[in-house]
Amino acid sequence: MTERSARRIVGFALGTGLFTFIVYYIAAVLRGPEVEYISWNPVHAAVLTVLGLAAGAAWGSRKALEGWRTLEVILVAVLALVFGLLFLGWAFVWDLAKPLNALLPGARDLVYGFWFIAAIIGAYIVRKPGAALATETLAAAAEFLAGGEWGLTLLLSGLVQGGMAELVFALTGYRRYDLPTLMLAGAAAGVGSLVVDYLFWYSDKTLGVLAIMLVARLISGALLSGWLGKAIADALHNAGALGSFAIAREEA
């Protein structure tokens, strides 16, 4: 069942990502006179492809959620609420880190990765298809409902970040939850976050600044989501709080 879900998620993700890329290529390169206002831009191509990957992973995950136990649903809901409020507070850290951009434009993104941690912790504890996507998306919704300053864009961010992390776990067949895999999932969520932010806020940035932001988010996602997420979940597990979940069985 898990392997079938993994194949479905990867298939939907790759298919949708390829579809968005092809559509953009046709419109921008093989265009007719009615769409001459669209020109080829490799950044736009990458953005649309990543959006397609995340959307496909999200769509492919929907059936997997139907087989969850009630206890797992409750846990993800609680994690989402807790981290949604923490995400709201992390905006204060984001503001404090603003001087980093004076040293190197885009360097402030080194603290961005905490906003992906819900996806990593949810997936690491539950270890079922859809966990990363569900936890991150619900956490973003909780942040939005609590008054997050970025409004409805938070929901799209949560969906894309969760979808990119979900894709990493799906590519392993939901069999690997070691530190490198968690850090890779956090980095993938960082790619998704920059794609959404580019659409709404950063389309005027130079390619050099965007590259710095991307590297910073890869590092931050790997550390503040992947490494820190594992450390938090392991602490909860060692305290005996997660005995009813897959983390307790598989780590044993």
Q: What is the pLDDT of residue 151?
A: 85
Q: What is the pLDDT of residue 28?
A: 82
Q: What is the pLDDT of residue 177?
A: 95
Q: What is the pLDDT of residues 182-235, one digit of tens each?
A: 999 999 999 999 999 999 989 889 999 999 999 999 999 999 999 999 999 999
pTM: 0.92
* Average pLDDT value for the chain: 91
Q: What is the pLDDT of residue 36?
A: 62
Tell me the average pLDDT across 103-132.
94
pLDDT band, very low/low/confident/very high, at 247 (cuts 50, 70, 90): confident
Q: What is the pLDDT of residue 230?
A: 96
Q: Is the pLDDT of residue 108 over 90?
A: yes
Q: What is the pLDDT of residue 134?
A: 94
Q: What is the pLDDT of residues 164-179, one digit of tens each?
A: 999 999 999 999 999 9
* Secondary structure of the chain in HEC code, one letter for each residue: CHHHHHHHHHHHHHHHHHHHHHHHHHHHCCCCHHHCCCCCCHHHHHHHHHHHHHHHHHHHHCCHHHHCCHHHHHHHHHHHHHHHHHHHHHHHHHHHCCCHHHHCCCHHHHHHHHHHHHHHHHHHHHCCCCHHHHHHHHHHHHHHHCCCCCCCHHHHHHHHHHHHHHHHHHHCCCCCCCHHHHHHHHHHHHHHHHHHHHHHHHCCCCHHHHHHHHHHHHHHHHHHHHHHHHHHHHHHHHCCCCCCCHHHHHHC
pLDDT band, very low/low/confident/very high, at 144 (cuts 50, 70, 90): very high
Domain boundaries, the chain: 68-251
Better-scored residue on pLDDT, 192 or 149: 192
Q: What is the pLDDT of residue 252?
A: 58
Q: What is the pLDDT of residue 219?
A: 97
CATH topology assigned to domain 68-251 = Arp2/3 complex 21 kDa subunit ARPC3 (1.10.1760)
Q: What is the pLDDT of residues 23-76, one digit of tens each?
A: 988 888 877 555 566 778 888 899 999 999 999 998 888 888 777 889 999 999
Q: What is the pLDDT of residue 81?
A: 95
